Structure 1
């Protein structure tokens, strides 16, 4: 099974790959080698779900409903995430 490393930006991912893998293979949005998958995330991968996800009545704000504190916070993928980020969340690479 591979170890996944997520760097904050592409150039940091390259430096990490050089440091811990040495000779790596560049794939579509990540680097692979020596039992590691190294990718990057520019911005947030996930965000908090909008209030209407918890209850349709929260779609239109009403002061009487505030504060909205769910029993469990739900996360949703960031629609502005890059192709690489979406792939990481929805279709991770298979283990090496």
Structure 2
């Protein structure tokens, strides 16, 4: 899914420093979940074919770990809640 804005957008250069120098950004390109899934699967199989199944499995695990870290840093996943769930499960027994 490609979304192109009608008017060009401008940002400061360098970002975060106020000046009258500005640069024009290009069109915003987004990727659907299906496209991202296809790309991830394709890259996993390509690594598997080129380097072997063990290396591909490690690459997938590293990708999942990176995804999990980003989710925690963005606040989408509360790590503190995981400890509470485990304590609740012990109390039920």
- The TM-score bracket by the shorter chain reads under 0.3
> Could you state the TM-score of these two structures normalised by the residue count of structure 2?
0.23
> Could you state the TM-score of these two structures normalised by the residue count of structure 1?
0.23
Larger Rg, first or second structure (1 or 2): 2
**Greater relative contact order structure (CA < 8 Å, 6+ sep):** 1
Q: Which has the higher strand share?
A: 1
